[in-house]
Structure 1
Amino acid sequence: MRELVALFSEPGTLDNLGIGQIRDGLADLLFPGISTVQTRARYLVLIPWTFQRAALGKSGAALVKAADREQREILLALREAGHTQGLIGRVAGAAVRVLPSTIYWNALQTYKILRQDTRPQHLPQTRKAASNDDEIRDGLPWSTLPPPESFPTDVTEQGFDLSAAEANWLRERMVVTCEGSLLAHLLSQPTMADLDVHNLWDLDLDAAPQKLRDLVEDTELFSLALHGAALLYNFMVGEAYERHELTSVEAPAQHYREELEQWSARYWNHPLVPTWDRSRLWRRFPAIPSRTQQFVETWIDGVNALGAGAPTDSVELRRLIGDREFQNKGAQSRLTNEKQLRLWQGASGAGRLQFRWPQASQILSDISEGLNHAGA
């Protein structure tokens, strides 16, 4: 559980200002099926195999129990073999509470690896047969590669490295089921783009269709604009922190004043800021609450009206941030609740939004390396 909490505590993950629905909506359009707690691509291969084995002669609670046991044994074997990069349960081992199947279940359904919209306890029983039996390989509910005869003992040798067959299969699943997404575009190219970039908008997308380039542009500009709001919020928290004479964090207000000055320079130096058509963003999300849209629009209009001035000195922008945080968090607002203020450790959602790019880039890299094994 500590590992799961740590993943959710990354800078930029916390939603102090109530924009998470837009952030997550953009991430879903870009990288369907990928979440912030996923780590490696091969879980999408291993999980179906564990459930196929568990379903032999079992259903309901017995199937779930068997799949639970299989997953824990595999996690322990991976840890003992030294395959710890991206290992769920790296610290807890077989005692881990959140299993890979819980983390990847939505992805399995998104990519139609799990053909049915169902929970583990509702999976059907299969008859006892060899692991490569046609009934298991081709039957519902799974659409997956047949497990090798050496599974699960072979995981200690292969670890999280995808074989060429596994990588090709995963690429096909994602391209077919995620048409129009950045995920599908990157996987469908003859040569994988250079993934070693900090932000997804730094990718080479010259070959991408205009609709996808527009989506990435909206994502970049939304991230850039709202980063300023997050920094101003932390600046205001830093001021309150100092007013209460709290000292665990050193000079937070000055730190965020300098951060905001740097952000303002990046914002006004961006060539696309003056021409951004924000109506294109809202057409993507017609169900966004009007209060959320109004907050975003008011923030950006306020910044644009301020020009190169410092947001820290704007009464209107400060009021906007304070009202929005209270609207979003109520009595738990750090700006009004001293107990919550004392728990502040110097940053709360202060990082720039990344839209699950760190997780997506790792999964894409896993697939790319698997394809390279066959010279693909």
Structure 2
Amino acid sequence: MSLIAWLDTSDEEERSMRELVALFSEPGTLDNLGIGQIRDGLADMLFPGISTVQTRARYLVLIPWTFQRAARRNSGVALVKAADREQREILLALREAGHTQGLIGRVAGAAVRVLPSAIYWNALQTYKILRRETPPQHLLQTGRSTAGEDDASHSSSWSTLPLPESFPDNVAVQGFDLSVAEASWIRERMVLTCEGSLLAYLLSLPAMPDLDVDYLWELQLGEAPQDLLDLVEDAELFSLALLGASLLYNVMVGEAYERLELTSVENPTQWYRGELERWSAQYRNDARALIWDRPRLWRRFPNISPRTRQFVEDWIAGVDNLPVGACADTAELRKLISKREFQNKGAQSRLTNEKQIRLWQGASGASRLQFRWPQAARILDDISEGLDNAGA
């Protein structure tokens, strides 16, 4: 099968395997300092079901339809293979018609190794589009529906829109644009299943706010519930505070890189020292950072590793009283970063492994955490545009 191995693993293990595919193409996801559990946890609270490798909202409609069609004559592995073939045919039809923005497999075509169903399976379960948590090969044959009976009522596995008679032949005409019915249905699924999240709140508003912002905390959320505002603030301040740790890490990697007289990356130490000084000024000028209710953050993560929590607390305590520009040369902070990276990566620690230094390309998680906002914004925009078609 071309799907990522659908073994009888936990949902979390399957999700981790899927997101591993995009790890090295997403600079902000590199977890050199072992903060991924907090990063991913906050992202899950803000945008349940959305991952770093999702692209367009309409896949939430197309994927169930391919599996419903496959289930008419197949079950188990044969069902998955039939759905696999149809997903590849749809891919080629969309590419041929020019619908390439967000197309999974745009470059590889039919040879793509990771299909949309692998990428969206967790989302389908999260939004109860797939009624029960199950891997694809455990789905059963349903038979062909009779006249007047749609596949949604005939198949107990799926809660979805009726399967059109024209599917998949009409996919190339509509592309990734959602119809009003499709957009309304996806919105309903997300709102019903993701209560308390930023995703559900935005979709519940009479009109979508401006999504053209770099970070989720730049959204206009003035009327949001206080619990949600607190969650957004925790994400913003965690992203701000830990950016400094990532920048100091890159300063230290840059120094090791230059000691080896490597030159593919130009003056990395000078660059990251400047970025760290700018971060320090930003952090010191944010009054909220100095009074951040971190116990509120830790209550969100009752099972967090004590080492992870201690690292975050030690980093923040270490920078809170330093003057602007002092972080780069503070021995205690350097020791903290070095120790944490070794705890997290062991023999693959870039600060102790020359081979890893030589492979460095100039940035190791050196950007602010976005908590999957770019992917969420794209999907929200798709839904918003579909809903707007009602007034067209």
TM-score (norm 2): 0.93
Paired letter, 2:340: R
2:230 is aligned with 1:214 = yes
Paired letter, 1:353: L
Deviations 1:124-160 (A, max 9, x none): 1111235962454354110000121111011101000
Paired letter, 2:338: G
2:185 is aligned with 1:169 = yes
- Preserved CA contact (<8 Å) 2:22 2:53: no
Stretch moving more, 303-312 or 222-231: 303-312
1:37 equivalent in structure 2 = 53
- Preserved CA contact (<8 Å) 1:48 1:142: yes
2:381 is aligned with 1:365 = yes
CA distance, structure 2, for counterparts of residue 224 and residue 31 of structure 1: 19
1:278 equivalent in structure 2 = 294
CA distance, structure 2, for counterparts of residue 135 and residue 232 of structure 1: 55
Paired letter, 1:268: R
- Which one of 58, 63, 78 corresponds to residue 47 of structure 1? 63
- Preserved CA contact (<8 Å) 2:66 2:83: yes
2:194 equivalent in structure 1 = 178
1:66 equivalent in structure 2 = 82
Paired letter, 2:138: H
- Preserved CA contact (<8 Å) 1:137 1:144: no
Deviations 1:317-362 (A, max 9, x none): 0000001001111111111110010000110111110000000000
2:205 equivalent in structure 1 = 189
2:279 is aligned with 1:263 = yes
With over 3 angstroms needed to count, the CA separation of the structure-2 counterparts of 1:132 and 1:192, relative to structure 1, is: farther
Stretch moving more, 141-150 or 29-38: 141-150
5+ residue gaps, structure 2:
5-18
- Preserved CA contact (<8 Å) 2:129 2:158: yes
Stretch moving more, 120-129 or 284-293: 120-129
* Number of equivalences: 375
CA distance, structure 2, for counterparts of residue 148 and residue 67 of structure 1: 16
5+ residue gaps, structure 1:
none
Aligned to 2:365, the other structure's residue is in SS state: coil
What RMSD in Å do the two structures reach over aligned CA positions? 1.6
CA distance, structure 2, for counterparts of residue 138 and residue 300 of structure 1: 56
2:248 equivalent in structure 1 = 232
1:99 equivalent in structure 2 = 115
Aligned to 1:306, the other structure's residue is in SS state: coil
CA distance, structure 1, for counterparts of residue 74 and residue 48 of structure 2: 31
Stretch moving more, 123-132 or 101-110: 123-132
User: What percent identity do the matched residue pairs reach?
Assistant: 76
- The 5 A counterparts of 1:333-344 are 333-344=349-360
CA distance, structure 1, for counterparts of residue 285 and residue 114 of structure 2: 44
- Preserved CA contact (<8 Å) 1:137 1:145: no
